[in-house]
Amino acid sequence: MKLGKILVAAATSGVLLSGAFMIAEEYTGKSAFAVNMDNTRIELKTKKGTVREVLIANDIPFSADDRIEPGLDTKVKGGETINIYRAREITIVDGETTTTRKTTYRKVEDILKELNITLGDQDKVTPELSSEVAEVDTIKITRNSTTTETKKEAVKFETKEEKDDTKYVDEKVTKVEGKNGEKEVTYNVVREKGKEISREVVSEKVLTEATTKVVVVGTKQRPAEQKASSQATSSSQSYSVQSAPAQSYSAAGGSVRLSNGNTAGAEGAAAAQEMARRTGVSASTWEHIIARESNGQVNARNASGASGLFQTMPGWGSTATVQDQINAATRAYKAQGLAAWGMR
């Protein structure tokens, strides 16, 4: 075997040394060369020719999978260094497919290029592209799919408050009901092994505008005397609903009729039901109060300033509508109980 003088040189990170190994000496038709392979540097003197001829003449083995620089058919004259990068096996796990391939590179990015493996923008590689792998390492590629999805979604309505100095601070009235709108949203969805890992909005198109809810809020402070005063009524007599000794009444079909013929009326009966729900006091008690105070007349007014079904004073709030009257009666009850209507 014609190998000449052999020098062993450790290669950094397993990469063979490169560059020209210059030897000017020539004799008897032979030229000096250096061959780097398998972490070994061989110096030899042989006849000129192609790289292939130099390697064969000196019994230096190589295979079709090896990467040889300069190329096998390159003519060399002497003084050159021939680098042989031996092919080695590496495992490639590409999605659901596992194969064993041969490579002459160590850097992940270079290995994938050599094996003509292309990556998508969303694909992941382990180890990272800049990493170097040992001979027994595995490169894992996770293929991620990107799809476009379009769906309709609600546009949530906003709520806006309007100040009203004619209403008290504890009064709120919905002026305009809010309503959700609708929009069409397009997403780019990335999935890994069928499982969604990210979602990005590409575009939005409003199909129906949302309607802003408008709430009127009072800013006027209630007078101190109205907050503390007893709820005045159109009748000064005091009585107990349970025994009702001063006035007798009968209930028929959910309607109370006093001995003087007064009733709560249809609207009053409905208001009594709502008051019973809010306060826990029986609807018949509230019907009795309404029958006595207003005879079921929604617009009843008293010289004292009391008004509505329950004959509440202005300090308890507006009585413009039946709902306002219920709200005012609720405030009076919470502050004074049934005593607001002279009851025990």
**What is the tens place of the pLDDT at every residue in 216-265?**
999 988 776 544 444 443 333 333 333 333 334 343 334 688 888 889 88
Domain 5-85 belongs to what topology?
Answer: Ubiquitin-like (UB roll) (3.10.20)
Residue 23, pLDDT above cutoff 50: no
The pLDDT, as a whole number, for residue 166 is 85
Whole-number Å distance between alpha carbons of 118 and 129: 12
Whole-number Å distance between alpha carbons of 259 and 221: 41
The pLDDT, as a whole number, for residue 168 is 86
Residue whose structure tokens are 């064993």: 100
Residue 319, pLDDT above cutoff 70: yes
Lowest mean pLDDT among 5-9, 129-133, 168-172: 5-9
Architecture label for domain 88-142: Roll (3.10)
C-beta of residue 275 within 8 angstroms of C-beta of residue 283:
yes
Domain boundaries, the chain: 5-85, 88-142, 149-219, 223-341
Residue 54, pLDDT above cutoff 60: yes
- 5-85 and 88-142 share one fold: yes
Of the candidates 119, 115, 61, 116, the one whose C-alpha atom is nearest the C-alpha of residue 90 is: 115
**Structure confidence by residue, pLDDT tens digits, 73-114:** 999 888 888 999 888 888 888 888 898 888 888 888 888 898
- Please state which CATH number belongs to domain 149-219: 2.20.230.10
Phi, psi of 138 (to 5 degrees): -120, 140
Burial (CB < 10 A; 0-12, 13-18, 19+), residue 139, is buried
